[in-house]
Structure 1
Amino acid sequence: MSTGRRVIKNQSLTVLLRRLSPSRHASAAAAAAASAAPATAGDGGRSGHHGEDHCLRSLAASQTASDALLAFRSLDPSLRRTPLCNDLLRSLLRSGEPGHRAEALALLRHMLRPDSTCRPDRITCSILFSNLSKRSQPVEDESLHFVVQMAVMGIFRSDAFRFTELVNKLCYGGGTARAWDFVRAVKDAGGAIETPVCNALLAGLARDREFQKMNLLFSEMKDMGVRPNVVTFGILINHLVKSRRVDEALQVLDVMTRPDSEVSPDTVTFNTIIDGLCKVGRPDDAMALLDRMSIRHGCSANTVTYNSLIDGLCKAGEMDMAHELVARMEREGVPPSVVTLNTLVSGMCRHGRLGSALDFFRQKRHTWADVRGNAVTYSTLISAFLHSNNVGKAMDLFDEMVSEGHSPDSVVYFTLISGLSQVGRLEDACSVASSMKKNGFQLDTKSYNILISGFCKKKKLDKACEVLREMQEAGLRPDVFTYNTLIAASCKAGDFPTVGQLLNKMVDDGCKPSVVTYGTLIHGYCKAGNLDEASKIFQNMDAAGVPPNTVIYNSLIDSLCKDRKIDIAISLMDEMQKKGVPPDVITYNAMLKGLRDRNMSDEAFQLMDRMRQEGCNPDYVTMDILTEWLSAIGEMERLRRFVNGKGVDISQK
């Protein structure tokens, strides 16, 4: 380019910069004007190039992305260089203005063209990587492809930290498959893959249960020159433990503890396997591993180690061993936590040692200075005393909890409401519910259902309906359990008009009747002697696509037999067989009673053989029915054959 043409271009640049905010761009404009001076013959025009590049690089670095982009576009394409493009790229990617990211991608697209005069370098790759690894930034497939292209060009910057952050970001964002494809593409393109990157991808694959890919990546790490570290083995062991493949996890541990192993297990590794052994009911093996980690491998057990072991022993009912482990924990100076306390308290309560649990809690509050118990501790004790019907002690503990400064949470309130309702202290349960609301907690559907169920059991339907109204006023919709409870109580009370209203309301609320709903209605109408209505509901089940179960058939068959409609009952039993609904001993007993009342002995003998063939064992009711009836008609031999599992229907021999 001639000196005169360069002067014209630089003068146009100066005009452009002045057109922007003059006060902000005075220095940049001055620099551009200074660079407009013709190059001296001695420098061959190089000073003009240097001045113009310096001007735009300064602008891109110090001014807004929009201004830098505008200035960049005004520059002759032949004068654009990679450092200038990198500065602009960094500015565009940092900007939060709409459209700037698309401009950045367009710039990268241009830089990657084979004929580009500003090809990307390692700094370009680093800028893009740094931006992609930020949590707030989107990760487009095109951006990932750009990184792969740079790896192909041999300018991939091996920044393990940024690479790991990007893989983590993709995996946690539900894009583990994208992370897998990206890492493998970078590897295939010649980019360096380091251990932290593989660990991040392994963890993502484990969360998504992509076990085949985990095994493949683990086996390929050696070929890639990537050395697994303790984190790598930890991810693998954690995956095996969560899959309940504890023996395989122990095999991996054996590999780590070999003399020629380059990676030694740490306390976290042992803790993971110990916890896994406890969860699969192998506390003895877990205890053996505790001794192995400390004696043979010099790994000190910590609070997490002991908590896992104590929990495993408590669940196995080994309470004495759990207490011995606590004593060992104290001797070795391992600090207990509130989890330690709660695990022991819960274990003792679960095995009926309520007094010991409370004494242990009282004692450790003084000897374990930093462990005072929390809402979980009190909730466990309160629940245990409520289930043992010691309501007074439960309420004393609740008062103590509040006085100790432990604010009750929704779990504690729910425990009280549930426990008090189960022991029939419904007024107290309602009082707790009121206290809960005063303290800013909202009762959920489950809590209201417990109160409704309690009042229904007490045959206080009016109170149950009051709770229902309160529930709806609180903005909660009754669920199928709510309606089933109220319908069952109304059926027992013989209040069928209310039953109909509840059923209609249930449908209007969009709550689909379940098989329990239909069973409750059919049983209620059968008990009331209204077989016609029960039959209508039975037919409605088919239209609603809800298949009847054995209990529903039993209600109808029993009522039909009592109403001496034995032929219809027999046809219903045949229908059960066709629909694959297995009859039980209650079904057969109802049929045998009906046949006895009609003195239909031949049909009874056929039914006895059918009962034997289907493997349904008679109970004491069956034997009472048959003994009384068959002895009266002189057929005790048939009864003996039936008891001995032999055929009794002679007509079929």
Structure 2
Amino acid sequence: MARQPPQSFTNLFLRQNSRTIQNPKTQIRSLATEEFAQTHHQQKPDGLTRIAKEVSRVIRTRPRWEQSLISDFPNFNFLDPNFFPELLKQQNNVFLSLRFFYWLSSHNGFVPDKLLCNLIFDGLVEAKAANAAKSLLGFVDFSPEPGSLEGYVRCLCENGSMDDAVKVFDEMKRSGICASLETWNSALLGSVRAGRSDFVWKLYGEMVDFGVVGDLDTVEYLIQAFCINDNVSEGYRLLRQVLEDGFVPSIVAFNKLISGFCKDRKYSRVSALLHTMIAKNRLPDIFTYQEIISNLRNKRMQSEGFRIFNDLKDRGYAPDRVMYTTMIHSLCKMKRIGDARKLWFEMVHKGILPNEYTYNALIYGCFRIGNIEDAEELHKEMCCKGFKETTVSYNTMIKGLCLCGRVEEARDMFQGMSEKGIARDIITYNSLIQGFCKEGKIAESTYLLNELLEQGLQPSTTTYTALIEKLCEIGDVDEAKRLWKHMQNRGVEPAVQTHDFIITGLSEKGYVAEGTEWLAAMLKSKLRPRKQTLERLIHCLSQGDKLDEALLVLEYMFSIGYSLSERVCHSMVDKLCEKNSHNHETSLGGILQKEITTSEVF
């Protein structure tokens, strides 16, 4: 079980001036260099420096110098213990020096020097070459100095190699080496970025065991770890503790908690956090708003986001263009074009000019309510303002026109893109494919699918779904199944509803046995079919005198909470009366009794 912070957490470890930790890296490197120089300080022959410079030049300029270096200097002993230190000084390139070190190690009689290895190791760490430093540790049996290990840990954490970083911490712990606060925080931050809250609690527990006093950065990483664990309330409790002690974390900690509470729909906590931020002079930034808006996706939640947005404006916070655009886009998704326009004029009145993304958000909002004239007028205005037509702007117009049934106009815009040198992407093709399918123009949609494949674009689930639905609707189930196989062969995951389309299409064609097989495969994959799909299959099974199968599907339908429509119910009763089957009546009675009992329980 992951370790959790103790109850006396804030009393244990917060320190003043918490963000001014000295970085020991430069000092460590200079001390190592000084020690190396003192250890290897000998009277060198005059020619040694000259040869080191010449060898350094060869290493820098010749790609495969290893094959000819000895023949280039036939009378020189490269194993001279004074040579490599001199080369290292002349080379001033740790990667080339490491390559020479590996080459030298392949010769009999070469004994790696501990201080020399430490110097190379420190150079690799300073160059953020974590993998090269790791390979050196595996190649040579030496133990870096504690300060070097700390630098290595920070390097691993910055590279996201948290498993390796934790292993180094374990080795340091076994050797009784306690890292500096900077190194502990670096590891906590790396663990948070990797989503490894288990590492956070392990490392924090060891940090407490060593008696290391933490700072506000430490607090923030623990709060983020709580959020990773979906334990936002505990993170909020920790925040309140440090606030009571007079410490205020950075805006990052607040934003993470806000995001977590938005996901849990605890909007009172979101509002409380926003008010606390303002009171503590941690004014919400664009990322704060984005955390709120990105988590308020359905209409009720988006309305809550809009309320919070207005509340913060009333409290004196000034949103920027990005935030206005985000809110306008959100309102347009809710078809609240009137409110979106109010925000538009409000931002213009404040001297914040709309950009192409603001225009596109409002253009699509106009299309959504069927106001094509306003959408086209906005598009013209955007072009007149000097905004270049882009793939994004064309996609907005094409999708909007298709939404309003103006597919031919959308096709004209699509063709005009290539004439103007504007790239088409998968969204462009998908919008037009969906538009043609909506109009029943399968040939045009299929042509576009083939064209996007020829262009080297990877089709998405959306590309296929509209085509499969329309093919099943017109009875061409075989072509729909061929497309299904094609999308799977290309590694595209079918949408859940495509199963429903094919099952319904097969049922309509009278292929109820195959439709039942598709339903069984769907259930095996733990996918939930639509009510209409099950009803259609039940109807077709009963009309085909497959009452046993129809009753099985009916029982499953009740088990997942669906009710049977009156039309399908009458159809089944008529078929049972026609067959006059006592067994089927008994089975149906049992199913209905089970459904009644379940309903009473709930």
CA distance, structure 2, for counterparts of residue 67 and residue 303 of structure 1 = 51
Structure 2: how far apart are the matches of 1:244 and 1:210? 13
2:548 counterpart letter in structure 1? I
CA distance, structure 2, for counterparts of residue 76 and residue 466 of structure 1: 69
Structure 1 contact 345–377 (Cα < 8 Å) conserved = yes
Distance 2:400 2:258 in 1: 35
Q: Secondary structure at the match of 1:406?
A: coil
Q: Which residue of 2 aligns with 1:64?
A: 56
Contact 1:267 1:300 in 2 (8 A): yes
| Whole-angstrom distance in 2 between the partners of 1:362 and 1:521 | 48
Match of 1:569 among 533, 547, 567: 547
In the alignment, the residues of structure 1 paired with residue 582 and residue 360 of structure 2 have an alpha-carbon distance, to the nearest angstrom, of 60
AA partner of residue 392 (structure 1)? E
Q: State the partner residue of 2:187.
A: 201
Q: Deviations over 1:464-514 (max 9, x none)?
A: 3443454444345766765564455345445x5xx5456557657846997
Q: Does 1:354 align with 2:337?
A: yes
TM-score normalised to the size of structure 2? 0.72
- Whether 2:559 is the aligned partner of 1:558: answer no
1:349, 1:381 within 8 Å by CA — same for their partners in 2?
yes
Distance 1:605 1:221, change over 3 A: closer
Relative distance call for 1:573 and 1:54 in structure 2 (3 A) is farther
CA distance in structure 2 between the aligned counterparts of 1:128 and 1:207, rounded to whole angstroms: 26
Return the alpha-carbon distance in structure 2 between the equivalents of residues 278 and 214 of structure 1.
Answer: 24
**1:406 aligned onto 2:392:** no
Q: Which structure is larger by alpha-carbon Rg, 1 or 2?
A: 1
Distance in 1 between residues matched to 2:258 and 2:522, nearest whole Å: 51
Partner in structure 2 of residue 326 of structure 1: 313
Cα distance in 1, alignment partners of residues 463 and 273 from structure 2: 50
Name the CA distance, whole Å, in 1 between partners of 2:149 and 2:98. 29
Instruction: Give 3-state SS (helix, strand or coil) of 2:316's partner.
Output: helix
Of residues 275, 286, 289, the one that matches 2:273 is: 289
**Structure 1 counterpart of 2:225, from 239, 243, 252:** 239
Asked if 1:420 is matched to 2:414, the reply is: no
Q: 1:438 to 1:193 in 2, by over 3 A?
A: farther
Pair 1:221–1:256, CA change in 2 (3 A): same
- Are the counterparts in 1 of residues 98 and 120 from structure 2 also a CA contact under 8 Å? no
**2:198 paired with 1:215:** no
Does the Cα contact within 8 Å between 2:426 and 2:457 map onto a contact in 1? yes
> 2:448 maps to what in 1?
467
Cα distance between partner residues in 2 of 1:381 and 1:300: 32
Distance 2:288 2:517 in 1: 60
1:201: how far off? 1.6
> What is the CA deviation profile of residues 603-625 of structure 1, one whole-angstrom value per residue up to 9, with x for unaligned ones?
4465144223135999xxxxxxx
- RCO higher in 1 or 2 (8 Å CA, sep ≥ 6)? 2
Q: Does 1:613 align with 2:574?
A: no
Structure 2 residue aligned with 1:125: 118
Structure 1 match to 2:328: 345
Q: Which SS does the other structure have where 1:265 is aligned?
A: coil
Q: How does 1:242-253 map to 2 (within 5 A)?
A: 242-253=228-239
Counterparts of 1:329 and 1:206, CA distance in 2: 33
Q: What is the rounded CA distance, in whole Å, between the counterparts of 1:159 and 1:142 in structure 2?
A: 14
Percent identical: 21
Which residue of the other structure, out of 554, 564, 567, is the alignment partner of 1:585?
564
Partner Cα distance (2:522, 2:305) in 1:
51
**Residue from 265, 281, 289 that aligns with 2:249:** 265
**How many pairs were matched up?**
536
- Bigger mean CA offset, 389-398 vs 342-351: 342-351
Report the CA distance shift for 1:436/1:281 in structure 2 as closer, same or farther (over 3 A).
farther
Deviation at 1:64, TM superposition (A): 1.0
2:372 counterpart (391, 398, 423)? 391
The answer to whether the 8 Å contact 1:382/1:397 transfers is yes
Tell me which of 263, 284, 307 is aligned to 2:289.
307
Deviation at 1:177, TM superposition (A): 0.8
Once residues 163 and 283 of structure 2 are traced to their aligned partners in structure 1, the CA distance between those partners, rounded to angstroms, is 37
Note the C-alpha offset of 1:554.
4.5
Residue 100 of structure 1 is matched in structure 2 by 100
Which letter maps to 1:201? A
Counterpart residue identity of residue 265, structure 2: G
Q: Which amino acid aligns with 1:86?
A: P
Work out the CA distance in 1 between the residues paired with 2:251 and 2:460.
48
Q: Deviations over 1:237-284 (max 9, x none)?
A: 22323443222222322343354x8x6534444444445444543443
Q: Check the 8 A contact 1:507/1:513 in 2, yes or no.
A: no
Matched, 1:382 2:369: no
Contact 1:266 1:299 in 2 (8 A): no
Amino acid at match of 2:81: R
Q: Structure 2: which amino acid aligns with 1:349?
A: C
| In structure 2, distance between residues paired with 1:513 and 1:617 | 35
Report the counterpart of residue 136 of structure 2 in structure 1.
Answer: 143
Instruction: Give the conservation status (yes or no) of the 8 Å contact 2:557–2:563.
Output: no
* Structure 2 CA distance for partners of 1:407 and 1:589, relative to 1, 3 Å: farther
Q: 1:356 to 1:285 in 2, by over 3 A?
A: same
Question: Secondary structure of the equivalent of 1:150?
Answer: coil
Q: Pick from 213, 216, 219: which aligns with 1:227?
A: 213
| Counterpart contact for 2:325–2:358, Cα < 8 Å | yes
Distance in 2 (alpha carbons) for counterparts of 1:381 and 1:216: 49
The one-character-per-residue Cα deviations of 1:538-583 (angstroms, maximum 9, x if unpaired) are 6699899988968666445423433xx43x2224534886999968
8 A Cα contact 2:117 2:142, kept in partner: no
C-alpha contact (below 8 Å) 1:167/1:197 kept by paired residues: no
Aligned to 1:35: none
| CA–CA separation in structure 2 for the residues paired with 1:490 and 1:400 | 40
Q: Aligned in 2, Cα 1:606/1:504: closer, same or farther, shift over 3 Å?
A: closer
One-letter amino acid matched to 1:381: L
- Aligned partner of 2:414: which letter? A
Whether the 8 Å contact between 1:506 and 1:513 is mirrored in structure 2 is no
Q: TM-score, normalised by structure 1?
A: 0.67
Aligned mate of 2:434, from 440, 449, 453: 453
Pair 557,580 (structure 1): closer, same or farther in 2 beyond 3 Å = closer
1:223 Cα offset (Å): 4.0
State the SS of the aligned residue for 1:614.
helix
Question: Which residue of 2 is the match for residue 622 of structure 1?
Answer: none
Which structure 1 residue ranges, 5 or more long, are not aligned? 1-48, 113-118, 619-643, 646-653
Please report how far the alpha carbon of residue 137 of structure 1 lies from its aligned counterpart in structure 2 after TM superposition: 7.0
C-alpha separation in 2, matches of 1:546 and 1:291: 49
Question: For the Cα contact (< 8 Å) 1:230–1:265, is it kept in 2?
Answer: yes
Q: 1:633 maps to which residue? A: none
**How far apart in 1 are the matches of 2:240 and 2:515?**
64
CA contact under 8 A between 1:346 and 1:380: conserved in structure 2? yes
Instruction: Decide whether the 8 Å contact of 2:364 with 2:375 is kept in 1.
Output: yes
